[in-house]
Structure 1
Amino acid sequence: MVNYYLKMEPHLFREAVHGQFERIVQEREAAAAAAKAKGNDAASGSDKSDLVLYRRMEEVKRSEQRATVEDLMYASVLEKFVDVGVDMLPRLENIIESPANLKALTEGIHTKEALDLVREHVRGIMGPAAVAFSNAMIKMSRLQAAQVYAASIMFGYFVRRVDKRFQLERSLGLLPQNTEEAVARLERLFSQAENVDAAEDPDSAPSSPSSESSSSAGPADIPSGGPLGGSGVSQAEATGDFQSLGAEKAKKKSALREYVEAFDQETMLEMTRVVSAEGAALVEAQTSALFGDLKSLQRQMQEAVGTDANSMEELMERVQSAVNSGAVESVTITVGTQRRAVLEAVAFGTFLRDVETHVDTEYALLTPPSGDGGSGGGGGQGARKGGSPLAGV
């Protein structure tokens, strides 16, 4: 039903989703009240077999509700792609080219600080292909492509979590003082004070316009004879030497990267895990929708390459041989399509975290992953509006 609203009446989509979530909340509240009454009946000596049957029925009902929550969350993620004007990739079946608005997949989603980390991720996960021409062809196993996509979803999820936490701590003034920034701030203050003193000195000689222009023009602003000469841009920009610019910027780490690097091991592990069973299920479901059943692809790869490789180099050689011989399913795509797929996956993880936070804060319907404690998904009225242990960053 909500998919109909998303495609045909998008202005009613959020209202429809809200109604579905509210219905599940009411069902769980009613079930909790009924379970309490059943417990009282059991304590009074009524037939315990009825209580066992009732609990089994509730487990089935809870499983159905969880599946509905996952469907609603997935539809909400799709809506966010619609909002930024990007159609998601279909199942990858040797797509030659799949153009997309990469700007919408980057600047339209991430903060400036987070965008720096996303660029690093794309360069790191694509390897040498990151600097290849967009129409260059790449052939890889479906399992490898699926692993890259899933890892990028998890990266986007992680970036959104740490960026939200970073922005919150910065707004509250809780971030540790950066030594370089503090020194630069003091130098600016001293410089401003000296300029004020010089301006107020009646004996100081006014500088001539020619001296001002000659002193303000550095080597990077000298006209080069081209159309950009004397325009105030740097020499690297004027000559198109963007690699030099990138190298200059790479020398200084972004504030968000420094923030992440300051995490201890426990904090890093906490920030990299998916905080709900529904979220983890959607990561696997989205990856499988594009590349096929992951468990089947893993079995296929293990049968083709074996488990006795002595080194990573030997393992990768076996994988490449299996791809070339057709022993495993493969996909042939362009570099541009792979780049788009990676950015889409990062965006999916980012949107998933946003939706997950909203659902848990407003409805408290999420389930902690297996092995976690907590009472997420209790659905009681008292647990709503931020009361769930899963809420927040």
Structure 2
Amino acid sequence: MENCVCHQLRTMVTIPKVSPTSVKPQLRVRASGGRRHCEFSSLNAPLEPRSLVGKFLSGVLQNRRQLFHVVTKEELKLLSDDRDSAVARMLISHHSDEALLHRRIAQVKENECTISIADVMYLLILYKFSEIRVHLVPKLSSCLYNGRLEILPSKDWDLESIHSMEVLDIVRKHVSTVTGLKSNHSVNDSWATTHIRKFWLARVYVASILYGYFLKSVSLRYNLERSLSLPDHNLHRGHRTGPSFHDVYRCSPKDVIFGNKNDIQSVWHSLIRQEEEIEDLKCYVMGFHPGSFQRCAKLRSKEAVHLVESHSHALFGNGKSGLSHHDDVIVTSFSSLRRLVLEAVAFGSFLWETEDYIDNVYKLKDHEVE
């Protein structure tokens, strides 16, 4: 049945490249009056699909949303079969004259699948954002006006709605820590402006993705153990020796996103300190064995690492040059900073769910922390 649906959609949705002129118009919200180039819509996400599978599924998401998950699952199965077949041919021909050729074919297929899976991940995350009626912030280069960045509407409530109350308390403390905006801030505080380097903002954004990913992982594990009434042997309330910064950093994506360790050490120290008043979850995290902590904090797959890198470069970068350590200082409001951080935390949470969903159909490559 799924094969039939997928074949019919490929016939109906022949989209070499999705563009606003080729699909039904969607609801759009301008980030600020008078700037038509900065629009929030499902067609204006920072990262565009690079693979044929990604472009096809993007068309399905726009035109046949109700069938998106059915078709996505079928595409994942096809990708898995293609990769497995290439590997099988490589193994069979190991001692033949064609061994080198099939090894090369398997490598090319693996690279193609990595790009395709990153696209599938991204589209699944976009679907989850659409369920809470939130569009990702477009490329910041298109939203800057005379060096000023303003993101409207804020969508704070929608972005917070995905978290449980216990996790939400931690998320709000995180937002307060990295933005300097107090939880009981006034309207005037929210609209006050600050100067910030775009590269530093990018590091905060990616750190927040990782933090959202970590919170999703640890909260699910915590709730599972609590629901099973397992012994509380992991909680050591009298012995607070939480994970060190070095442990956290080793679970982070590559330096190409963050810069050097000294640049982000203060950010991660703040992320760890901010949980102090959330006793139950705090004690649970602090009682982690180092190995358990690393399993929860790191991105589990290479495909997820690739996606976070690509998304961050697309959002903050300037073309193919990526992120510059000497980029311009931008002016923005604390409200806009809060929106970016909340979006990043939600992205990390959705990434964890998406990674888990895909891995049940297409075996992802483990991300080994060096």
Aligned pair partner of 1:3 in 58, 72, 84 = 58
Aligned pair partner of 1:151 in 194, 207, 225 = 207
Cα pair 2:154 2:339 within 8 Å, conserved: yes
Cα pair 1:129 1:335 within 8 Å, conserved: no
Aligned-partner Cα distance in 2 for 1:329–1:179: 46
Distance apart, 1:20 and its partner CA: 1.0
Aligned pair partner of 1:55 in 103, 107, 127 = 103
Alignment of 1:340-379 (within 5 A): 340-364=339-363, 366-370=364-368
Distance apart, 1:148 and its partner CA: 0.8
Counterpart for residue 136 of structure 2: 88
Aligned-partner Cα distance in 1 for 2:191–2:345: 22
Counterpart for residue 174 of structure 1: 230
**Residue 271 to residue 251, structure 1, CA distance change in 2 (3 Å):** closer
Distance apart, 1:288 and its partner CA: 1.4
Aligned-partner Cα distance in 2 for 1:87–1:357: 22
Distance apart, 1:33 and its partner CA: 3.0
Q: 2:180 corresponds to which letter in structure 1?
A: G
Q: 2:100 corresponds to which letter in structure 1?
A: V
**Residue 14 to residue 251, structure 1, CA distance change in 2 (3 Å):** closer
Correspondence 1:68 to 2:121: no
Counterpart for residue 30 of structure 2: none
Aligned-partner Cα distance in 1 for 2:62–2:154: 19
Cα pair 1:99 1:337 within 8 Å, conserved: no
Counterpart for residue 102 of structure 1: 156
**In structure 2, the residue corresponding to 1:110 is in which secondary structure?**
coil
Q: 1:146 corresponds to which letter in structure 2?
A: A
**Residue 101 to residue 144, structure 1, CA distance change in 2 (3 Å):** same
Counterpart for residue 253 of structure 2: none
Q: 1:6 corresponds to which letter in structure 2?
A: L
Q: How many residues align?
A: 268
Cα pair 1:143 1:294 within 8 Å, conserved: no
**Residue 63 to residue 114, structure 1, CA distance change in 2 (3 Å):** same
Distance apart, 1:128 and its partner CA: 5.0
Aligned pair partner of 1:111 in 138, 141, 164 = 164
Aligned-partner Cα distance in 1 for 2:290–2:134: 36
Counterpart for residue 190 of structure 1: none
Q: 1:173 corresponds to which letter in structure 2?
A: S
Counterpart for residue 197 of structure 2: 141
Counterpart for residue 174 of structure 2: 121
Distance apart, 1:331 and its partner CA: 2.2
**In structure 1, the residue corresponding to 2:360 is in which secondary structure?**
helix
Cα pair 1:142 1:297 within 8 Å, conserved: no
Cα pair 1:142 1:329 within 8 Å, conserved: yes
Counterpart for residue 32 of structure 2: none
Distance apart, 1:330 and its partner CA: 2.4
**In structure 2, the residue corresponding to 1:100 is in which secondary structure?**
coil
Cα pair 1:276 1:368 within 8 Å, conserved: yes
Aligned-partner Cα distance in 1 for 2:138–2:76: 28
Alignment of 1:264-283 (within 5 A): 264-283=289-308
Q: TM (normalized to structure 1)?
A: 0.63
**In structure 2, the residue corresponding to 1:275 is in which secondary structure?**
coil
Aligned-partner Cα distance in 2 for 1:166–1:141: 37
**In structure 1, the residue corresponding to 2:195 is in which secondary structure?**
strand
Q: 1:368 corresponds to which letter in structure 2?
A: D
After superposition, the C-alpha distances for 1:81-133 in whole angstroms (9 at most, x for unaligned) are: 001111111112233242133222112x1122211211111111112576462
Q: In proportion to residue count, which structure has more helix?
A: 1
Unaligned runs of 5+ in 2: 1-55, 238-274
After superposition, the CA RMSD in angstroms is 2.5
**Residue 31 to residue 57, structure 1, CA distance change in 2 (3 Å):** closer
Cα pair 1:148 1:342 within 8 Å, conserved: yes
Counterpart for residue 254 of structure 2: none
Correspondence 1:331 to 2:330: yes
Q: TM (normalized to structure 2)?
A: 0.67
Q: Considering only CA atoms, is the larger Rg found in Structure 1 or Structure 2?
A: 1
Distance apart, 1:4 and its partner CA: 1.2
**In structure 1, the residue corresponding to 2:332 is in which secondary structure?**
strand
Correspondence 1:35 to 2:33: no
Unaligned runs of 5+ in 1: 181-249, 302-327, 373-393
Aligned-partner Cα distance in 2 for 1:258–1:371: 25
**In structure 1, the residue corresponding to 2:294 is in which secondary structure?**
helix
Distance apart, 1:11 and its partner CA: 0.7
Q: 2:227 corresponds to which letter in structure 1?
A: S
Cα pair 2:196 2:330 within 8 Å, conserved: yes
Correspondence 1:263 to 2:262: no
**Residue 114 to residue 53, structure 1, CA distance change in 2 (3 Å):** same
Percentage of pairs with the same residue? 32
**In structure 1, the residue corresponding to 2:281 is in which secondary structure?**
helix
Correspondence 1:79 to 2:127: yes
**Residue 100 to residue 10, structure 1, CA distance change in 2 (3 Å):** farther
Cα pair 1:3 1:75 within 8 Å, conserved: yes
Q: 1:20 corresponds to which letter in structure 2?
A: E
Counterpart for residue 210 of structure 1: none
Distance apart, 1:370 and its partner CA: 4.7
Structure with the larger RCO, 1 or 2 (CA within 8 Å, 6+ apart): 1
**In structure 1, the residue corresponding to 2:226 is in which secondary structure?**
helix
After superposition, the C-alpha distances for 1:209-262 in whole angstroms (9 at most, x for unaligned) are: xxxxxxxxxxxxxxxxxxxxxxxxxxxxxxxxxxxxxxxxx9953422221122
Cα pair 2:302 2:367 within 8 Å, conserved: yes
**Residue 31 to residue 295, structure 1, CA distance change in 2 (3 Å):** closer
